[in-house]
């Protein structure tokens, strides 16, 4: 009986591929890569987009310091080598989620162009959409917001190699989307992102 | 107009949590951790289970050498330290997928009990189901199957520290499931796994 019952399970053969997962989800996987200064609003926008996608029944997943730093990137420090490896691993995790069919919302400062371009390359080589979103704010505004008090510490010399203070932020040269957070409301930003996902065909399988 | 439209998007506030993703998927996230000798049948069973889950409309994702070794674990070698880090990272990735609501099928030899127990701990500390599946085969049978010709190379001394030959395989002491691949058919194995997922409430949100 068990055999008979189980046999039906294998009526259709073949591996489960990316398109099968997309069909289950009714969407395509994609990585939305937010980059910008500390205090630019990356996480706030990612949280709002996640909420908007959820209300449409879309499966998204946020990668941020909370679930990455003490997890997959545990043990990495702030040397140039470790910073590069930090972004590399996040990129690899994002790629796996994209391949699974999930809309990944990655929000890390990711200040170096070469690191971001490598993550883009990983995705594009595998036919996965990579949407670089430059969350744009002047340093003055970011420093004024200073939600975690980090700029203050960096100015006081308590934090070294802080992006924008004593370490460079390399602006994206050809991001898919620029969000000027000094001109747009959070709702306008989310709307712009949803429209981009729609126009790229990600919200359909 | 844009503002008005976007405002509705935020009708419900609050972060998207694990249970919201589960509700979208109609299932719970979980990690099914296959462990066993090379040639025991881990990957074959994972592929068959993936297929069976797909036919039920379930979202699962396989982690195996193909998408891990040259990705997130690129650069890791075979030292004791690197082997431990290899399993640690796979465990962290599995945990993220579980948290996302996906049924993760992880198939790696993962020969050391301490490494597997750490991955279990990571999941259980975060309230995520961890199902250790011991894919049981005698060394003689695994070596006879030798699907990749690796045992032959290990016996010839061309591969060092090969599990079962010159490196130990530590059997699970309390796995959730044991699959005796010399006694069960592939269909019976899949059936047993599906029943376990069902009884643990993973196939409902």
pLDDT attached to residue A1:
30
The closest CB to that of B51, out of A16, A54, A100, belongs to A16
Facing A47 at nearest CB: one of B2, B5, B15 = B15
pLDDT of residue A2: 34
Query: In angstroms, what separates the C-alpha of B53 from chain A's closest C-alpha?
Result: 9
Report the gap between the CA of B9 and the closest CA in chain A (Å). Answer: 6
Residues A136-148: pLDDT tens digits?
999 999 999 999 9
- Inter-chain residue contact B16 with A54, CB threshold 8 Å: yes
Q: Which residues pair with B106 in a beta bridge?
A: B33, B63
Residue corresponding to tokens 């269909």: B187
CB burial of A1-26 (b: ≥16 within 10 Å; e: otherwise) equals eeeeebeebeeeeeebebebbbebbe
Using CB atoms, pick whichever of A21, A25, A96 lies closest to residue B67: A96
Closest chain B residue to the Cα of A126, Cα to Cα: B67
Which residue in A has a C-alpha nearest to residue B13's C-alpha?
A: A51
pLDDT tens per residue, range B35-74: 999 999 999 999 999 999 999 999 999 999 889 988 999 9
ipTM for the predicted complex comes to 0.92
Q: List Cα–Cα distances, B88 to A83, A189, B107, B126, in angstroms.
A: 20, 37, 14, 16
Distance CA A203, CA A52 (A): 12
CB B39 within 8 A of CB B140: no
pLDDT along chain A (205 residues), means of 10: 38 77 97 97 96 96 92 89 95 98 98 98 97 98 94 96 95 97 97 98 95
Residue B191 to residue A5, Cβ atoms within 8 A = yes
Q: What is the structure's pLDDT at A3?
A: 37
Nearest CA in chain A to B187: A6
pLDDT score recorded for residue A13: 55
Contacts of A67 in chain B (CB under 8 A): 96, 99
Per-residue confidence (pLDDT) for residue A23, from 0 to 100? 96
- Which residue ranges in chain B fall short of pLDDT 70? 1-14
- In this structure, are residues B92 and A54 in contact, taking their beta carbons and an 8 Å threshold? no
Unique residue bearing structure tokens 């997928």: B97
Q: Given this model, what pLDDT does residue B165 score? A: 96
Among candidate residues B196, B197, B49, B189, the one with its CA nearest the CA of residue A2: B189
């Amino acid at each position: 009986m068990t055999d008979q019952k189980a046999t039906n399970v294998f009526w259709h053969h073949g591996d489960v591929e990316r398109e099968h997962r997309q069909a289950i989800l009714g969407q395509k996987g994609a990585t939305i890569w937010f980059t910008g200064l500390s205090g630019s609003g990356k996480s706030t926008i990612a949280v709002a987009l996640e909420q908007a996608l959820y209300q449409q029944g879309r499966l998204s997943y946020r990668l941020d310091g909370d679930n990455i730093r003490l997890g997959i990137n545990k043990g990495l420090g702030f040397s140039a080598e470790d910073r590069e490896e930090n972004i590399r691993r996040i990129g690899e995790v994002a790629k796996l989620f994209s391949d699974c069919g999930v809309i990944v919302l990655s929000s890390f400062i990711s200040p170096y162009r070469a690191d971001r371009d490598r993550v883009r390359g990983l995705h594009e080589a595998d036919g996965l959409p990579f949407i670089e979103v430059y969350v744009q704010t002047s340093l003055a505004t970011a420093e004024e917001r200073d939600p975690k008090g980090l700029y203050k510490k960096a100015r006081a010399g308590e934090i070294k190699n802080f992006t924008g203070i004593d370490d460079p932020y390399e602006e994206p040269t050809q991001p898919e989307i620029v969000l000027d957070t000094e001109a747009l409301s959070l709702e306008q930003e989310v709307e712009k992102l949803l429209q981009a996902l729609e126009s790229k065909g990600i919200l359909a399988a």
